[in-house]
Amino acid sequence: MAGKKMRRTWRKAKPKEEKIFRSNNWINAPSVCVIGETGEQLGVMPIAQAKKLAEEAFLDLVEVNPKAEPPIVKIMDFGQFKYEREKKSQKQKAEQKKVDTKGIRLSFRISDHDFNIRADQAVKFIARGDKLKVELILKGREKQHETKAAELLMNFVKKVGEKGQFQLEQEDLTKQNGRYSIILVNKK
């Protein structure tokens, strides 16, 4: 047993299914609804006739909606179509902004200097546009002074608002067995 290793199985993450557009000879429907290169409806016709129209225009026949009955195809330049779709998806990814939640921990017996440093850190986080989670953990006999703990948290929120000239909005205030936490967001 000393030399035996345990075997672990790892599952690969499933890749996102990309929408695959069939074109030209890959389209296998007997008849299709054709849309011209300028967007006009050419009607339902056999696939051979649709391919011929696309070849005459030196363009591709691309299946836009395979689930329709009959499938909808469009006469267009397939390479340019793929390029534009890729650019569009990249632009959407770039526009998505991820909001981080930064955390700051305070203690019940925090000194004034440390309190001010934590407030400065909080101002930096909120100025960057991040959410801020402030935690205050009470230990031992400190749990008897819950009102002072809540007061300390409110003083911190007020101090951060004054230092950064923010209009802070409290998203969440939780209190469970000696742990206070509050989430702050800047109202713009």
Question: What digits encode the pLDDT tens for the residues 169-186?
Answer: 777 777 877 787 777 777
Q: Where in the chain is CATH 3.30.110.10?
A: 101-186
Region 25-46: what's the mean pLDDT? 92
Query: What mean pLDDT do residues 26-36 have?
Result: 92
Distance CA 95, CA 97 (A): 6
Residue 119: the pLDDT is 92
* Phi, psi (rounded to 5 degrees) for 185: -135, 145
Tokens of residue 93, six digits:
């990814």
Asked if residues 178 and 138 have their Cβ atoms less than 8 Å apart, the reply is yes
Give the model confidence (pLDDT) of 111-163 as tens digits: 999 999 999 999 998 888 888 888 888 888 888 888 888 889 889 988 888 88
The segment(s) of the chain belonging to CATH 3.10.20.80 are 24-83
- Calpha distance 32→170 (Å, rounded): 57
Residue 93 has pLDDT above 90, yes or no: no
Please give the torsion angle defined by the CA atoms of residues 34, 40, 41 and 45, in that order, rounded to the nearest 10 degrees: -40
Tell the CATH topology of 24-83.
Ubiquitin-like (UB roll) (3.10.20)
Q: What pLDDT is stored for residue 146 in this prediction?
A: 83
Q: Which CATH architecture has domain 101-186?
A: 2-Layer Sandwich (3.30)
pLDDT of residue 77 exceeding 70, the answer is yes
Average pLDDT over residues 98-111: 86
Q: Average pLDDT, whole number, for the chain? A: 85
Output the pLDDT for position 188.
62
Residue with the larger pLDDT of the pair 15 and 64: 64
Residues of the chain with pLDDT > 90, as a percent, come to: 33
Residue 156 tokens read as: 């911190």
Q: Are 27 and 63 in contact (CB under 8 A)?
A: yes
Q: Name the strands in the sheet holding 168-176, side by side, starting at the edge strand that comes first in the sequence.
A: 101-107, 131-137, 179-186, 168-176
DSSP structure class, residue 84: H
Give the per-residue pLDDT at 120.
93
15: amino acid identity, one letter: P
